Amino acid sequence: MMKKCAEKASSLISAYIELAQQNFYDDAQIIDDLSGIFTRKDLEELGYGDFIKDYFDDGEG
């Protein structure tokens, strides 16, 4: 059950990131929006650690 929930959450996050980038949201806005719902640990566990890490490593965050 939890794996299925994680897969659905991951799909929703992917869709949100894709849509936000198509609408020219910057990474800071995307991460801010997602952090209102998920913790950084949640996002890392769902496979979005690189997206967040890249943002902070690039000095943007």
Cβ proximity of 20 and 33 under 8 Å: yes
Name every residue whose Cβ is closer than 8 Å to that of residue 19 and which is 6 or more positions away in sequence.
Answer: none
The pLDDT value recorded for residue 15 is 95
Residue ranges covered by each domain of the chain: 2-57
Dihedral sign for Cα 23, 25, 27, 30, please: negative
What pLDDT tens digit does each residue of the chain (61 aa) get?
578 888 999 999 999 999 999 999 998 899 989 989 988 888 888 888 888 887 777 665 5
The pLDDT value recorded for residue 50 is 86
- Please tell me what DSSP assigns to residue 38: S
